[in-house]
Structure 1
């Protein structure tokens, strides 16, 4: 026991000497953000501020006692993360549409995303007909089926159908309403009829004008690239250069996703790093042409400063998403280290970048972009640090061996040289790709319910295209674009993309190209994240070994994830059920492909969402389906259908208010769904196991508690079917009065429930 204690103490001392404990501060702050997002109620800023200050003061007082100091710093970081998320939520607070609203909307088009057919745009709202100023959303996101002749910056007036942002279609699933809250989007919907331009009541501010001008420039460049290259290759090239991804077809998205290279259409950290490197090297070579500057002035630092400015401009010009922001912060810290004569590429720089993102946009920690981006870079930096340590050891051993100069050890020198050559060549690239893939695998599986085994083939191809074609082409083409001499550059970029699309299609045809995985237990990702952090942040083998039990617990949680036989959308207008063939089928009045995809992915079903929709099971008043155990399911859209369906169906789902006398065994109506949100049901021998997206007392800014009414808050689920009431006993007039009107759908096929970029 004493020997084990000594080993642990020695390992801890080594970690402290290497300053690795500091790297856990962003993890503690991130845990605070996660606790904020998972809370049922909004935490009080008046409590979080003194708690954060108190633990900071206690840590200062306990700085002489190392272990206590570290623990108090961790608690301070935890509450600082919680405070950052609460303060961010309070800063972005804006009204949200609470019901379907049809009226005239006017405002500035802030961002326009053109599609092959139609467009989707974000409107900075000035006024909405029928809504008071205090109830008017700050922004709304609208879709239109025809591409308009104007772009960002236009002040428009249009009639629109607005709906509340969609809540999660599945307990634990993606919640668009939460992302919309932090993006200050208070409604989504469709433009109806003609859109008219008008004179604004007041000119926009400088920041808004700049943002709209950049969006117009991005769209112009994206159209230029797409027209020259053509097809899906042109859409990918436009996405890689400008960040505009809506031109890409669904078929092309499926191809690159199955090959594990979906990140090719994003402005990734690799591109940001390459852009900064090109600026840095280019400016340094240019300044070195002058002997006076090269010999008398610190042109390396000047080049770093100019590269920092170029990286900031590149981030702003390409849309500034979380992945590029992380890369920008990391790049700025690295170049700042050059200005201060410090080592640039370290895990500490990544920790600073993570802290900046958590403090400025804490909600991004819950998104796949943040998780994948930081996990991949952390793994790559860990590999780099290990290589540097190994190289230092090899140099020391090599000196000893050359000093001995004995015949039997020359073979060892030769083998070490071959090993180093392989590590710095293709073998090193594959090993780094493997480590980055392993670090991101749990987040890929948790967020997207799929893995791509051939990513070790796809990622090197992607990096080749980005390094050889995309980034140099983007910089040269953008410089030549104002002169009209850029066409040959985009054709050059298109050649590389054509090659990688061919390779991606071939990879996608390989057996097992995509592994579909069911939903994880929600807590499993916590242990998998801790396992990943232990493997990349610690330097000693003793502490790195902690990753093994954590990973085992996380994998066990992934294998024990929740299953379901039936899922109901939060608005009650769609449902999925497991049929006789064991697969999910979807019935709906207006099928939401996004919700259908969420249900299928959580069930490890790789079918396209359209294939799961049973259109022949529906008519104007409702839909009918039969579960695997023979129970009948009725989805009721018309209040007149209750008189019949309440007497014959085993399960009724409706967006209306169901009559109190409905004799179905399970009734899930509008009143129930306001309390629970989306629900899933698992039918077992002992009864019905239910999971709800909302907790009973949940009240958050993006998910406010429903208004309470007299009587029981919800209708309890019955484990077995009660005695039926004859259908003739139901008074049609009372049924009609109880049903009321259906709420509007919060999702549509235009993708208004799709994740925010």
Structure 2
């Protein structure tokens, strides 16, 4: 019977359901953030009641319910409700106040909470509890938790430290909106970090008082800055020195941009993000070194269980590395997993399983639900899940093959293992990289085959030695050796990135396509038996039947002066104002899968003069006008009018669509689609940033 088969199917895979706990929690969090502003409070009250009711039913019927398909369905619903509640509580508790309007000139007073340094000498200052001064000299509290202010090198006269009370003239803006409908919302990331506004310094910074900060987090951050400055000075300010500092402290701002680009194009960008690789190597090195040291002392080796003591020492070392490196989400995930592995060593248990990944993901999602939207979270867990899933399939075969083999065979096995690990990780990360960054490194396998052994056997052991020698002020002994290893990795990245066809730029897949691919990957990794391949079959079938994503034909910026039209080849051609808004252009180009912006060419129906441009887009005449003088003519001759000034609607009623500065101020950027239908000549659809962004606390809808 069908029901009996379904029941047998679930019973056969019931032991793997625990692996799906973070998946269902993440689904609930995702539904919350896709709701466009969060459901009303009474909805969450109902969900809370349902959650507790489901838990009570599960407890009362635990002997009969959990072996039934409906039991798994109830569990899945409960976990999704739990995820949505966690996200709602996080947003409600955080409640970061935001700057309501732009302030072109204001005097800011506050305490330096964080400093991010860059290669050009500039800095980003995070000012805690900022206060503003009026033109009369009166100071009043802003009500904000923190501001992020960009400071150019010429405005930095004295060395700033965490806890300094500063005064500076600045121009402030509300949190930035996405550059296009459906684009990345940087305001969300700032809001969750406690930042309510951004700005730039307009004059030198004045240090009003050097107040020592007794709080742990600011003192820890200042310690990281001091370590960074000292090591960078020891390294002579070299490029390898900036990478060395990033690997230890997590401060990557001073790495030259060309190095970051080369590493990304060579498929080696993961080396800069302190995650499982770095934490695993650091903790492993501490574990084996401390165990070997205790084994060399008979008094300790005969009286202590040195393996368990070494695990505790390694856990303490991992915690220290977590704090020094800045405790980013990938590092926290790696530390949780390393801690569980070491606890398993102490308890004589096997720990390197997918359950370990599920525990780490569940902890992070319940504490920081917004991390599901983070690229680092997605990439970190995708890679480690795929690697452990593959390893668990071949673990016994590899162990049996390894025993009794010579050094030559073991070396060959290591090389193949590195290549296999790289292939699995690249395949797991490819959908995420393509969706968020629109770029794939074609020669990542080659670059990792060269760089990974150097990273594992050279750079990370030297980094551990650096940590041991730093308190003794003897780090100068190991830094030249460490620098040389890093320079080899940088040179490898530069060489691979310079090869013909090293990278490919692709258009972003649709959100539905992205979700289907992720679900298929999770099904393949988490399910047991032959049923795991069913996910791939279903995913491929759905992807084949889905209609192809239709990219927008016209993009218009928030002021109406920047616009881009998609030509016959699918590439975006920009207006002459593209050079003035490089960040927006870069975002549009990246999403379009285009390497460099092309200037708007005056052919194929494009006609431009001092008043604007009239162009033919899919047989529809579109006017982009910058002066009121050309408005009457454009309204009479074109079907779509885009103006960079306020347009009274009664002056231009003939075109099908008229957009002016008032529309852009209310709705943000626009994306337009022109489609020809059998019933009429054409149909125009559009989306705005306001439509796709939702009504969230970080979206003040002032564009």
TM-score range, shorter chain: 0.7 to 0.9
1:158-237 correspondence runs (5 A): 158-199=168-209, 204=213, 206-221=215-230, 223-224=232-233, 227-228=236-237, 230-231=238-239, 233-237=240-244
1:567 aligns with 2:555: yes
TM-score for both structures, normalised by structure 1? 0.81
2:580 alignment counterpart: 591
1:389-404 correspondence runs (5 A): 389-391=396-398
CA distance in 2, matches of 1:86, 1:134: 28
Secondary structure of 2:13's counterpart equals: helix
1:634 aligns with 2:637: no
Contact map agreement 1:172 1:522 (CA 8 A) in 2: no
Structure 2 vs 1, CA of residues 646 and 278 (structure 1 numbering), >3 Å: closer, same or farther?
A: farther
1:91 Cα deviation after fit: 1.9
Alignment RMSD: 3.4
Structure 1 residues 674-722: Cα deviation after superposition (integer angstroms, max 9, x where no partner) = 554332112333222323333389321122467xxxxxxxxxxxxxxxx
How many residues align? The count is 671
Structure 1 residues 251-283: Cα deviation after superposition (integer angstroms, max 9, x where no partner) = 323222221112222213200111111122222
Structure 1 residues 439-464: Cα deviation after superposition (integer angstroms, max 9, x where no partner) = 11111111111212222122233322
- Aligned with residue 355 of structure 1, among 359, 362, 365: 362
1:563 Cα deviation after fit: 0.6
CA distance in 1, matches of 2:80, 2:371: 16
2:56 alignment counterpart: 57
Contact map agreement 1:218 1:317 (CA 8 A) in 2: no
CA distance in 2, matches of 1:167, 1:477: 42
Structure 2 vs 1, CA of residues 177 and 455 (structure 1 numbering), >3 Å: closer, same or farther?
A: same
Structure 2 vs 1, CA of residues 627 and 98 (structure 1 numbering), >3 Å: closer, same or farther?
A: farther
Contact map agreement 1:677 1:692 (CA 8 A) in 2: yes
Structure 1 residues 173-224: Cα deviation after superposition (integer angstroms, max 9, x where no partner) = 2110111111111111101112101137x87451343244234224324533
1:439 alignment counterpart: 428
1:578 alignment counterpart: 566
CA distance in 2, matches of 1:675, 1:50: 39
Contact map agreement 1:578 1:627 (CA 8 A) in 2: no
Contact map agreement 1:111 1:215 (CA 8 A) in 2: no
Q: Which region of structure 1 is more displaced relative to structure 2, 70-79 or 209-218?
A: 209-218
Structure 2 vs 1, CA of residues 417 and 313 (structure 1 numbering), >3 Å: closer, same or farther?
A: closer
- Aligned with residue 497 of structure 2, among 492, 508, 517: 508
CA distance in 2, matches of 1:454, 1:622: 48
Structure 2 vs 1, CA of residues 654 and 464 (structure 1 numbering), >3 Å: closer, same or farther?
A: farther
Structure 2 vs 1, CA of residues 508 and 133 (structure 1 numbering), >3 Å: closer, same or farther?
A: same
Contact map agreement 1:240 1:265 (CA 8 A) in 2: yes
1:291 aligns with 2:298: yes
CA distance in 1, matches of 2:71, 2:622: 62
1:22 Cα deviation after fit: 0.6
2:99 alignment counterpart: 97
CA distance in 2, matches of 1:332, 1:126: 39
2:385 alignment counterpart: 378
2:115 alignment counterpart: 112
Secondary structure of 2:646's counterpart equals: coil
Secondary structure of 1:680's counterpart equals: strand
2:128 alignment counterpart: 124
Q: Which region of structure 1 is more displaced relative to structure 2, 378-387 or 111-120?
A: 111-120
Structure 2 vs 1, CA of residues 88 and 523 (structure 1 numbering), >3 Å: closer, same or farther?
A: same
Secondary structure of 1:383's counterpart equals: helix
1:304 alignment counterpart: 311
Structure 2 vs 1, CA of residues 417 and 33 (structure 1 numbering), >3 Å: closer, same or farther?
A: farther
1:701 aligns with 2:690: no
Contact map agreement 2:124 2:150 (CA 8 A) in 1: yes
Q: Which region of structure 1 is more displaced relative to structure 2, 30-39 or 63-72?
A: 63-72
1:690 alignment counterpart: 686
CA distance in 1, matches of 2:692, 2:470: 56
The unaligned stretches of length 5 or more in structure 1 are: 399-413, 707-742, 744-757
Contact map agreement 1:225 1:237 (CA 8 A) in 2: no
2:465 alignment counterpart: 476
CA distance in 1, matches of 2:383, 2:471: 36
Structure 2 vs 1, CA of residues 417 and 302 (structure 1 numbering), >3 Å: closer, same or farther?
A: closer
Contact map agreement 2:132 2:141 (CA 8 A) in 1: no
CA distance in 2, matches of 1:380, 1:244: 27
